Structure formats: structure tokens, C-alpha cells
């Protein structure tokens, strides 16, 4: 499918998965990739496009800072890791974006923010004003007071949260950066005959059967949650692309209309 129409997308939500901004072997933040990400997104912002980031990685960053090996044990420990890690994550984002004179903001939301009419309207007003001022909001689930995401693996490492945010801000496009090139007929890491799916016009049972769960100790979202995100985005009229976050320049390539990743048509 011709993707020239993606050049006209103006309000873009970019979801950054944990594996995109961490070293998979150690779990430590990948500062080179984060610096490149800040540069790429600021350059897109300099094209007068509006950017919203939904960033994972807080619990992972916190657990490394606290010296916890493997997944945190128990809900309270996950929340403690999130509290420490979110501060570290935002400190690094602030430093990196400041190098390019780009102002960022932190927005922590919960499911209650989304379902409560007054809270949702307040959040939408905040997003609208920040974007008007040229700020890049960085969103995450408020894991220290809300346990929806860290208890429910199906919430998906911010996959479905990013789709909901795209809906809230009236985005034109949602980009999910993952550790895989896009959607395949099977997991290509286990099946060499798996075929790549470039474009999805309709999500059906056959497509859902292609989805696989996460297999890393750092992230929580697998392809199943990305399909769920595509459904939320599609119902809101938002096109979505799943692409490999190993090269963050893929964000720019997608907005140039190049055939990168799997496109889910709204």
C-alpha cells in the first residue's frame, strides 16, 4: 500500500517500549538510543508537527537503581521501583531534550483519569494547551498510586495506554516502537517461515492468532496487546504503525511515507 498519506500526519503519539530504551542484556537505560530518540523527535517537532510520547521503562530503571535482580517481587516492590525509576527516566529525558532546546512535560495518568468524565476532560485540556505551546508531553501510567497496569499484563507495557492517549488527544497517527519489525504470521524468532504482514485493513480472528506474548524479563507487552491497541486506535479513527525501535530513525522514515513496519488502517 502507498504510504504517502503518512507525510500529512500532524499529531503523532509515539510509544516507546522498555526494550527500545534499555540494554536487553542488563536492563540498564541505553543512553545512546535515548539521545538519538530526543534528537529525532525534536527534529520532527521542528517540522511543526505535534508529538506526544508514551514511555515505558520506569519500573525497569527503578529496579536497576535499587539493585533488584529479575522482576520485582510483589506489588509494593513494583510500585517502589516505579517511583524511583520514573524520576530517573524523566531526569534523563529532561537533560537530553534540553540539549536541543525542546521543552518537555510529564503527565502521569491512571485508568480512573480515562474513565472519569471530569478527570478526562482536565487531562485533554492539559494536553491541548501543552501541544499549543510546542511542548512534548511524556506520558506514563502512575504506577505508584494505580496498580492497573502492573497487575494486569494485558494492559501491555503502555501499548493500550498509548492508544487511549491517541484517542484522547485526537492524534492522526500512533507509532508503537517494539523489538520486532512488525506483525508476522508467527513469531519469526521461533519460526523461520513466518511471513511479514505489511498492512492490516481489518483485525479478525486469524490476525489475532498471529499475536504472541512478550518473552523478555524487562517488558510486559507482546503482540497481543499491540493488536488490542490497534483496535482502540482504529475505532478512534487513528492509523497505527508497529515498527522496530532498534533504529529510532524509523519514526522519521514512517512520517516520510516509507514502508516501515506494519500499518494498521483505521
CATH number at residue 212: 3.40.1160.10
Q: What is the pLDDT of residue 240?
A: 97
- This prediction's pTM: 0.89
- Min mean pLDDT across 100-104, 157-161, 207-211, 258-262 is at 207-211
Between 139 and 180, the higher pLDDT residue: 139
Return the higher-pLDDT residue of 17 and 261. Answer: 261
Q: Average pLDDT, stretch 160-167?
A: 94
Average pLDDT, the chain: 87
Position 63 pLDDT exceeds 50: yes
pLDDT, average across residues 156-178? 90
Of 136-140, 146-150, 173-177, 253-257, least confident by mean pLDDT is 146-150
Q: What would the pLDDT profile of 172-230 be if each residue is shown by its tens digit?
A: 999 999 888 898 887 777 788 888 999 999 888 777 766 654 444 444 447 788 898 99
pLDDT at 208: 72
Nearest alpha-carbon partner for 180 in 246, 264, 258, 259: 246
Q: Which of the pair, 113 or 21, is modelled with greater confidence?
A: 21
Q: Look-up: residue for cell 504517502?
A: 4
Q: What domain range is 260 assigned to? A: 4-264
Nearest to 98 by CA among 163, 34, 190, 48: 34
Question: Which of 109-113, 144-148, 261-265 shows the lowest mean pLDDT across its residues?
Answer: 144-148
Give the number of domains in the chain: 1
Distance CA 87, CA 106 (A): 10
Name the burial class of residue 125, with classes exposed (0-12), middle (13-18) and buried (19+) by CB atoms within 10 angstroms of its CB.
exposed
pLDDT of residue 211: 62
pLDDT digits (tens, 9 = 90+) for 226-266: 898 999 999 999 999 999 999 999 999 999 999 999 999 99
Which region, left, alpha or beta, applies to residue 198 given φ > 0 means left and ψ of -120 to 50 means alpha?
Answer: alpha
Predicted pLDDT at 187: 75
More confident residue, 99 or 223: 99
Amino acid at each position: 500500500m502507498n504510504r504517502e498519506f503518512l507525510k500529512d500526519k500532524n499529531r503523532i503519539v509515539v510509544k516507546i517500549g522498555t526494550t527500545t530504551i534499555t540494554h536487553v542484556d542488563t536492563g540498564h537505560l541505553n543512553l545512546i538510543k535515548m539521545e538519538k530518540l530526543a534528537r529525532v523527535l525534536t527534529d520532527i517537532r521542528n517540522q511543526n508537527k505535534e508529538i506526544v510520547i508514551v514511555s515505558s521503562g520506569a519500573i525497569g530503571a527503578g529496579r536497576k537503581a535499587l539493585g533488584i535482580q529479575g522482576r520485582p517481587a510483589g506489588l509494593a516492590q513494583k510500585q517502589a521501583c516505579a517511583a524511583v525509576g520514573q524520576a530517573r527516566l524523566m531526569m534523563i529525558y529532561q537533560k537530553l531534550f534540553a540539549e536541543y532546546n525542546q521543552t518537555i512535560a510529564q503527565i502521569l495518568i491512571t485508568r480512573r483519569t480515562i474513565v472519569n468524565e471530569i478527570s478526562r476532560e482536565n487531562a485533554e485540556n492539559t494536553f491541548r494547551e501543552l501541544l499549543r505551546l510546542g511542548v512534548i508531553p511524556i506520558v506514563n501510567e502512575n504506577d505508584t498510586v494505580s496498580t492497573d497496569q502492573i497487575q494486569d499484563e494485558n494492559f501491555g507495557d503502555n501499548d493500550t495506554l498509548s492508544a487511549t492517549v491517541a484517542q484522547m488527544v485526537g492524534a492522526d497517527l500512533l507509532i508503537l516502537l517494539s523489538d520486532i519489525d512488525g506483525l508476522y504470521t508467527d513469531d519469526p524468532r521461533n519460526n523461520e517461515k513466518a511471513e511479514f504482514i505489511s498492512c492490516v485493513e481489518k483485525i479478525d480472528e486469524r490476525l489475532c492468532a498471529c499475536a504472541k506474548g512478550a518473552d523478555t524479563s524487562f517488558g510486559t507487552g507482546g503482540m497481543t496487546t499491540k493488536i488490542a491497541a490497534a483496535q482502540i486506535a482504529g475505532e478512534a479513527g487513528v492509523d497505527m504503525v508497529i515498527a522496530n525501535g532498534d533504529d529510532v530513525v524509523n519514526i522519521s522514515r514512517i512520517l516520510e511515507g516509507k514502508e516501515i513496519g506494519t500499518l494498521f488502517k483505521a
